[in-house]
Amino acid sequence: MTAESMLSISEVSKSFGATRALDDVSLTFPRSSVTALLGENGSGKSTLIKILAGVHAPDPGRAALRVRQTEVALPLSPARAHALGLRFLHQDLGLMGEATVADNIGLYSGYLSRALTPLRPGRERRRAALLLERFEVHASPDDYVSDLSLSDQTMVAIARAFEDENDDASRVLVLDEPTAALPGDEVDRVFGAVRRARDAGAAVILVSHRLEEVLQIADRVAVLRDGRLVRERPVAGLGVGDLVEMMIGKDLAEHESTPKAVGESNEPIVVGRGLYGRRLAGVDVEIRPGEVLGIGGLVGSGRSELTRILGGAQRPRRGTLKVGGRPRSYVAPHAAVADGIVTVPQNRRRDGVLLDLTVRENLTLGDLRSLTRWSMIDRARERAEARTLIEQFDIRPRALEFPVRLLSGGNQQKVAIARAVRLRPRVLVLDEPTQGVDVGARREVAGIIRRLKADGMAIVLGTSDGDELLDLADRALILDRGRTRRVFGPGELTPSRLAHATAGVEGYSA
The mean per-residue pLDDT over the stretch 464-493 comes to: 91
CB 342 within 8 A of CB 425: yes
Q: 62-71, 144-153, 355-364 — which is least confidently predicted?
A: 144-153
pLDDT for position 473: 96
pTM of the entire predicted model: 0.66
Query: In this model, does residue 219 exceed pLDDT 80?
Result: yes
Query: In this model, does residue 133 exceed pLDDT 70?
Result: yes
- Give the three-class secondary structure for 294: strand
CATH class of 5-248: alpha beta
Residues of the chain with CATH 3.40.50.300: 5-248, 270-503
Residue 176 CA to residue 91 CA, distance in Å, equals: 6
Angle in degrees, 0-180, between the axes of helices 121-134 and 101-109, rounded to the nearest 10: 100
pLDDT per position as a tens digit, 238-273: 998 888 888 877 544 444 444 444 444 579 999 999
pLDDT for position 503: 74
CB 322 within 8 A of CB 270: yes
Say which CATH topology domain 270-503 has.
Answer: Rossmann fold (3.40.50)
- Classify residue 83 by burial, with Cβ atoms within 10 Å: 0-12, 13-18, 19+: exposed
Residue 135's nearest CA partner among 109, 117, 160, 106 is 160
Query: In this model, does residue 222 exceed pLDDT 90?
Result: yes
pLDDT for position 122: 83
- Average pLDDT of the chain? 86
pLDDT for position 26: 95
pLDDT for position 164: 65
CB 63 within 8 A of CB 10: yes
Residue 147 CA to residue 252 CA, distance in Å, equals: 45
Q: How many residues does the chain have?
A: 510
Contacts of 66 (CB under 8 A, 6+ apart): 1, 5, 7, 8, 72
Residue 504's nearest CA partner among 240, 210, 299, 248 is 210
